[in-house]
Amino acid sequence: MTGLRRLFGYTFWVVVNVQLFGVQTAELIHKGEVHEEECRTLEDLSKFRPQEKVNLSQYGGWKKKKFNRTGFFHAFKDDERWWLIDPDGYAFFSLGVNSVNLGNLKRTTTPNDQEVAWGERTSAMLRGFGFNTLGCWSDAPVVQEITKPMPYCLRWNFMPGYRNQRRSKYPSTGKFNTIYPFDEEFGPFCIKHAESAQKTQNDPWLFGHFSDNELTFTEKGIVKEYLKHPPNDPNHMAAKKFMADRGRKEANAKDDSDFLKLVVDTYYRKVSAALKRNDPNHMFLGSRFHGRALDSPALFLGSGKHTDLISVNYYHRWTPESERIGNWSTLADKPILITEFYAMAKDTGLPTHKGAGFKVKAQQDRAYFYQHFALGLLENKNCVGWHWFRYRDGWTNTGIVNEKEKPYPLLTQAMQKINQQAYSLVEFFTSSQE
């Protein structure tokens, strides 16, 4: 049975497997109106048998499936699907939370006893909920000090850092002013900027490196925008040469697509070289694609040959689009890691008028959404994990805990049920698709 779903101005097909989908619904709020959205939960998988105990490695990998041991996390594709492999060689599905940080606790250069105690307490709680990765913006120095660490990520902010450096030489112009891959100075800057990666290059608990977050990789009109930069700007000159080589002054849609691929390839090549020079052991996790850029094949073609996986902040889709995720993976020839998604509820009293995530009525709706979305990702052979945005409530209800670090029980219990069965569910879906 198929149904046509229209939401947030997007139209897309939702394929419903009658055998697998149940009747649970979540109350989604859009433009002040309440819409009931169908949710598949763990209880709806009639043929799935939960495992009482899943044998895990120290890193959270699945001991039932063993690959080559390298001492560090890496990606691999076998006959069944894409996998992440933990440092001990076991299959690994990254179940993470973003922004696991100290909050109001005072940060110090070397974590003090209070910070370490927070790290011990928080990591134990997250493991209890079935998570195995600390996502972007987490307090890595604290994590490294605790007795039972968790895999963690680092983010480098290459482009914002370089943007501040170049302002005195090249004035900013146009809406693409955050991406300057063609500057001669950008490559050396990246190498210097990433020097501190040498400190963690031998740390097996480091999951990998994000270079940036949500850069403006927009295809439509990109050549025209780059030509808005001053004539002496290397990015203007790159666009001018690109069009001259094609014998035209006005760019068409194919020109924009091809130039975007060149922009992406140049940025990722320089950043990847800098990271690998300073840390040859860990994965390059990309720059967290988002928005309309996700519809540009050039984005994935240009980045895939330089990254170990493709990271996507995935919003505005109630149900993961299996075919679309598969296309991303095929274009890049890399697995897909979902690095942001969330739903916020009105029942906390916190504002819900901003943010990319879904707005729902209550915590039960957040719980249903998590299970529904997670099951769709586990079912996809190209997906190797997800990271929820985020750990603690901020200006809105995005957290799995409130500002006082008290968990939302309906949400975290739903997370726990899925997370603890993630490997069993991957096995179930794989066998069901054979």
Question: Domain spans of the chain?
Answer: 93-156+194-211+285-433
Report CA 16 to chain centroid distance, whole Å: 25
CA dihedral 203, 207, 209, 215 (to 10 degrees): -160
Look at residue 16 in the predicted model and tell me its pLDDT: 35
Look at residue 22 in the predicted model and tell me its pLDDT: 55
Structure tokens at 185: 């100075």
Look at residue 175 in the predicted model and tell me its pLDDT: 62
Q: Quick: pLDDT tens for 306-325.
A: 999 999 999 999 999 999 99
Residues near 41 by beta carbon (within 8 Å), at least 6 away in sequence: 22, 24, 368, 371, 372, 375, 414
What sign has the CA pseudo-torsion 215, 219, 221, 227? Answer: positive
287 C-beta neighbours (distance < 10 Å), count: 26
Kindly report whether the peptide bond that precedes residue 392 is cis, defined as omega within 30 degrees of 0: no
Distance between CA atoms of 73 and 207, rounded to whole angstroms? Answer: 6
For the chain (434 residues), the mean pLDDT of every run of 10, in chain order, is 37 36 84 94 95 96 97 97 98 98 78 90 96 96 89 96 89 71 97 98 98 94 93 95 96 97 98 98 98 95 97 97 98 98 97 94 98 98 98 96 96 98 97 82
Residues near 278 by beta carbon (within 8 Å), at least 6 away in sequence: 191, 194, 195, 196, 197, 198, 201
Flag whether the pTM goes above 0.85: yes
Distance between CA atoms of 68 and 95, rounded to whole angstroms? Answer: 21
Helix, strand and coil content of the chain, in percent to the nearest 5, comes to 35, 20, 45
Structure tokens at 98: 């973003």
Look at residue 173 in the predicted model and tell me its pLDDT: 62
Nearest CA-CA partner of 376 in 321, 427, 312: 321
Q: Quick: pLDDT tens for 5-38.
A: 434 333 333 333 333 445 699 999 998 999 999 9
* Interhelix angle 409-419/363-378, nearest 10 degrees: 20
Q: What are phi and psi of 132, to 5 degrees?
A: -135, 5
Pick the CATH number of 93-156+194-211+285-433 from 3.20.20.80, 3.40.50.300, 3.55.40.20, 3.30.499.10: 3.20.20.80
Distance between CA atoms of 375 and 377, rounded to whole angstroms? Answer: 5
Nearest CA-CA partner of 391 in 142, 23, 113: 142
Q: How many residues does the chain have?
A: 434
